[in-house]
Structure 1
Amino acid sequence: MLRPVSLTLGCLVLTLAVGQAWAQENSNTLPPSELLPETSVDGEVWIYYWDGIDGVAVDDLRSASGFPDSPDDLNTINQLSQLSNRGDSYGVLIPGYLIPPATGQYTFYVAGDDETELWLSTSNQPSDKRLIASVPGWTGSSEFNKYSAQRSVSIDLEAGNRYYFELLFKEAGGDDHFTAAWEGPGFGRQVIPGSALASYAAGSASDDRSAEEAYRLGYSVGYLDGSENLAFVPGYPPTDSDGDGLYDNWEVVHGLNPNDSSDAVSDPDGDLLSAAEEFLLGTAENNPDSDSDGIPDGTEFAVGLDPLTASDASGDLDGDGATNLDEYIAGTDLSDETSTPAPDQAPDSELPLTAGFVGQYFNGIRFDDFVLARRDSAVLFDAGTGAMVEELPVDNFSVRWVGRFTAPHSSGTRDYNFTTRTDDGTRLYIDGQRVISAWIDQGATRYTATTALEPGQTVDLVMEYYEKGGAAVAQLFITDSNGTDVPQAETITSPDQASSSTIDSDSDGIPDTWELRYGLNPYADDASAVNNTSDVTNLEAYQSAISPWTLETVGSPPNSSTGGGANTSPPPASGSATLTWTAPSTREDGSAIALSEIDSYDILYGTSPDALNQTVSIAGAETSAEITGLESGTWYFAIRVIDTEGLVSEPSDVISYSVP
């Protein structure tokens, strides 16, 4: 989660947050066992010092040649604080156990001069630790509110359980101190006392899996090695080089790094299950739909279906008469009998179709400036360092291809593999679900998603691509479960953008064919988005028969009451508001976020707090924006942030502003 960001409008302030997993680190920060106490002692923790280390950053300590094996000094303390000045150019590591006095929610705080980090495990195992709070610069001795990263999220802890923790601290020069505090059930903020601490001892953290969990883990390991013809390594627990809870061989088979603990919380296949969850469930990390039943693993697990049993797709979990697969495709709740798919808006026969994709081409790597839409028979481009199409530059452009794939087989259920190969970023959506997400600068790289289809079944495809620099490669390959290439020319169709139709797949008030013609996405509700400098929304542009990008007249919308006599000019401007904000420096888990990781901000506004139906996108490097074209009256504003991985926050609290 991103930490709150302040947005100011006059004298008003609002905050926002973006969802993201806790940061996780390799567990090899402990001193060798001969330097640890033999037994754990309640009421104290050991503190290890490394001297003669320059720099203010905890990473300077981590990279020191003597860390963690050769500390220069050690001592014990009976509370999680050191306030006396010890010296300059040194670093500290404190490992230990935290023992909560009561069950409930706890919030942690750190202060320090200089950088300070507090890590807490979800168990008594160092391998499960996460960064929960940090000082990215320096603070006073009891200053807990200088940086948002100093405060953790609320964390549920159980009374009497032992939770492994680490505190790391780095001093450069001048004053030196650190303090870790907490607040919890029945007490306010206080320094973490000795009564809640115990020392970490050599061999004291035994594996705490139950017999059933150990059996399942052993079975999973043995099955994996056998099915992949890998050499089984005996012993328990299984080999786990980075201490992230994932068997090394499993990580290799599924494209993860057995020496990188952070990938345990990653989700490369985008099925809403982390790698650690997939390992325990037995699902595949590189396949979002392990049983190929058309429902992603994470969706099945969330509602209580089995992501390894294909037959449950044809079941009816909530008894509302619609199959689980039909509900998933329609976007309704599989477990709620009152949430059922609506009847089809209109049969496909009413939507004029032509062979191939509609390709929408844009300047800029974030679909910044629409250039043209055209018919592409297939997505098989490899332009080298030249231009992909003559209307675009050779670098810094993006493309969205929209089409429909119809399964060509005649009987039974068959798997189809959709493989993208791009240089640089790509995303692939099947029936509105993102199944490939690699929106990063990269050389030509392949990603594959698999889905099971019935004979003649049709699914919507949207492939997005951007080219940053160097070679321009954008390719889509389709194969069936037999490895046979499926020709796009025979299986891909798309709405005829040149025709008029009232079909509106995303129910945003703008017909599909109009959206395709003018650079919008017919399968995403983008009616309130703004793609021009005059704050005219896409829906307003359609209703006024003007381009949503240039505001030039483009022809009347079909069946529009405004007809050809519609106002083709943007709404008159009568006021403006200037908003400013501070870029977030941390995520909610306390881990740092660089400015380069912030892609953009969306400012949402409107004349009702319940209908912020206008949007302005602001580049991630900016911290202010002027909203113009505001008519007299009260306007309401909120903000959300988007990072470079595509994570989008919920809108912040709404503030108001009156335009004279």
Structure 2
Amino acid sequence: MNTLRKPLLVPLFFAIGGCQVWQGRDIDSLPPTASLPEQSEPGQVNIRYWMDIPGAEPSALTELTRYPDNPDNIETLNSLQQTQNRADDYGAMVQGFITPPQNGLYRFFVSGDDQMEFWLSDSQSPDSAVRIATVPAWTRAGDYSKYSSQTSAPIELVADKRYYFRIIFKERAGNDHFDVSWEGPNLGQQVIGADSISNWAQPSYPTEEDAIKAYSRGYRIGFFDSQNSLSFNPQYPPLDEDGDGLYDNWETYYGLNPGNPDDASVDQDDDFLTAMEEFELGTSPDKEDTDGDGIPDGAEFAYNLSPLDPSDAAADSDSDGANNLEEYLEGTDLNDPEDVPETAAELTAGFTGQYYSGTSFDSFIDYRTDNAIQFNWRSSAPISGSPSDNFSVRWSGIFQPPHASGSRDYRFTVRTDDGVRLYVDSDLAIDQWVDRGATANSYTRTLSAGEDIPIKMEYYDARYGAVAELSITDVQTNEEIDQASTILSTDPISENTIDTDGDGLPDSWELRHGTDLSVADSTMVLAANSGITVLEAYQSNLDPWTLEPLADSEPDTPDTTEPVPTEPDGSVQMSWSVPQKRADGSDLNAGEISHYKIFYGLEENNLDMETQDISKDQTSYVIEGLDRGIWFFSIRVYDTNGLASQPSNVEAFQIN
């Protein structure tokens, strides 16, 4: 069974085991390179010892001036394990390579007496090694549960690939031992043995990265000469008269001087890459955008894109819905999903009207587009589902004055039965929020050509007749302006990031769900006695008035824990901790939790299967009958008011 646990704040760690020794030798007088074998040998690793070092901290060893090149003696281990009680007050270091037998996820376990650290790289290079497991104090041999830091999270490894590792061990007094175990695909927990280790040897290049660079440089130089019909000299290092790191043929071709070392630092095309950087990347130093995808070479390099691949401009590096080219052009961060380009609002002709029951926008009924505000409903309901009396309406739009040049006066006239408020460019121009018979009021505003201004008209009907009319008149010509051709409003059906009032709610969402796009109302509570604000409802994918689930926004995140796999057999157990907080930081009592639900599937962006409701009293659940392949899992928590959390981060696990 794959047991998927997500313990809080669990760092990645690996473990070690196995021991066989050979005669130690004093290498204090040897230079560092002489102390390393020329070739890596499988089945064994060297362990280096430094004696008479007080203290239990690994730093007591690593801060020695003779660490790591001059130990007191060297011995050999045939597994990542030392079992004998060797001495007191000493330190040891083991380094080499681990080679996994199969592709998949591995976990590592360490024990030791007194303290130890285990470091692992994602390649053969020690430069990439990170500390992934520790024993912060002593443990018994094979006891991996005393401290959480003894066990790593799952790490994806590739079969037959060598990974550099390093063990640092410090003994103070008494018993002393250490071991490292692992588990993985078709591999039960066991000490890492001779068939998976090999010793550290002097590399051909300082790092694997340097070796790759050397190969790449030679290949690209040959290709460059061939592509441009230049004479290729196969000597290595390549021809470089001025010693600036640039191949002479390359400098000549691009108008640089093979005899001037200073031109390696110039930026010919103003793409924020020097000639040296362009040479290393294979880009053109005289072309700002080598692949012609609209993103300059320097920007692509800075955002980990390829300046030689035009297709990555259409990719979405941070999965925020905007492609890389759109983000570059808008000046947002290509790798930050929270930094999203502002999407222009889609506009539609006429006002958007929001209709409510009650004379103070008490309960939202629906919205619609009205080409003009010219209504005399008399004793009829204004919209399906609305009462014929005691209702209210809010119309929102943008007036585009039709004159082509100069300034012009426009008169805005409202005639209503009963109350009305008219806002012109956010100014309260008419305020008659009272019961009354059909009465007209006017307001005049001078507008320049092209000066678009927002218009908002609020109206209520108490009883009997219902009249709501707005007219706009050009004072100079005394002609009434056609509203259908001069009024635009945000299309409520569109999805965009425009937030006029800056309250965290997009304008189109506010229009669809009965909130005011020109007033910061996200902290209001519209669902009676719920305590749920409009913003919380939006974040939780709920109707702010009824708290019924919606399908047009993203919900909140649960405080769940991260799954971790063990041996695969077609089933997965997911475990989690009980969430303690809501998204806004407020406390979440256990009694407020209704249930949990796990969503899963074979595609990361399509978790099309789900479990039944899982009791609030459970903190784990087994999913069985999974076919071979990589499965993706996420979990949500639901409260007693129907609020659904945002899915947890999607985690991938391989079933073999």
The TM-score bracket by the shorter chain reads 0.3 to 0.5
Bigger relative contact order (CA 8 A; separation at least 6) = 1
Q: TM-score, normalised by structure 2?
A: 0.40
Larger Rg: 2
